[in-house]
Amino acid sequence: MEQIAVIGAGTMGNGIAHVFAQNGYKVNLVDIAQASLDKGMATITKNLDRMISKEVIDEAKKEATLANIATYTNLKDGVSNTDLVIEAATENLDIKLQIFRDLDEVCKAETILATNTSSISITQIGAATKRPEKVIGMHFMNPVPIMKLVEIIRGYSTSDEVTETIMELSKKLGKTPTEVNDYPGFVANRILMPMINESIETLYNGVAGVEEIDTVMKLGMAHPMGPLQLADFIGLDVCLSILNVMYDGFKNPKYAPCPLLVNMVMAGKLGVKSVEGFYDYSESRKAENVSAQFK
């Protein structure tokens, strides 16, 4: 594994590219929009500068990391000579399936195709290609440069060899890989999303307010942030998408998204990315001010 491609320069994509590049891998960061690539590289630079200020790395390491990243707007140019491609596009099944069909056509036969999906079936994605044995899930946690966990998800056809290769590669990145099987939500989101959804239900039913719910979970359960703040950080649209995947996959009403969550997404109140969710981020990205509708 020497040449890596990452598809998507958003929050997860640029974080994955950062981690590989910092660990000495050559990375092609691919996105259809040059503006997204520019923004992604600016984020990587900012995060490296933050690491310098904390004396985690020095200036030479920053420059070496940035030198390891090349950007592309053309998919074929960005992936044709890579050993591993990690897709980190938006959490939309149709988009992901098309990306994997395209990757299957333009990548070398031996290239491993991974997806950073947080809930969509690896088996279904693999079935869109002629190499399902080489398709695997690498679910990094956000923020990628900091969080240690990587969920390694085996599809129905994923080979033992590919699984072992990706497990070992994750360790070389300084991560802790955990192998799980391919069921809706995997492990992390199968447990996390019902908790977030139940927190929203608790608010919806008037049991307690936003700050009160988050305070109970932070101080009572030692969570670093409350579930409503975490939902804002993840993106309420992403939370809704994951819950819908689990609800469709299991046909179990316990995964049905709360009506309040559905309405907030329809209204464009998506959390930090839209400046308002359960909290108002117009003055600070920290969850300091509860959104006006919940006061």
Q: Which amino acid is present at 101? A: R
Instruction: Identify the H or E element spanning 255.
Output: none
Confidence of residue 1 (pLDDT cuts 50, 70, 90): confident
Task: Tell whether pTM > 0.75.
Answer: yes
Residue 225 known to bind ligand: no
Of the residues 14, 36, 121, 189, only one is catalytic, namely: 189
Confidence of residue 91 (pLDDT cuts 50, 70, 90): confident
Each domain of the chain, given as residue ranges in start order, spans 3-181, 189-290
Provide the CATH topology of domain 3-181.
Answer: Rossmann fold (3.40.50)
User: Helix H segments across the chain?
Assistant: 11-22, 34-53, 59-67, 75-79, 93-106, 122-127, 160-172, 188-204, 210-215, 221, 227-234, 236-250, 259-266
Of the residues 118, 119, 170, 199, only one is catalytic, namely: 118
Q: Is 118 one of the annotated active-site residues of the chain? A: yes
Architecture, CATH, for domain 189-290: Orthogonal Bundle (1.10)
pLDDT tens digits for range 252-276: 999 999 999 999 999 999 999 999 9
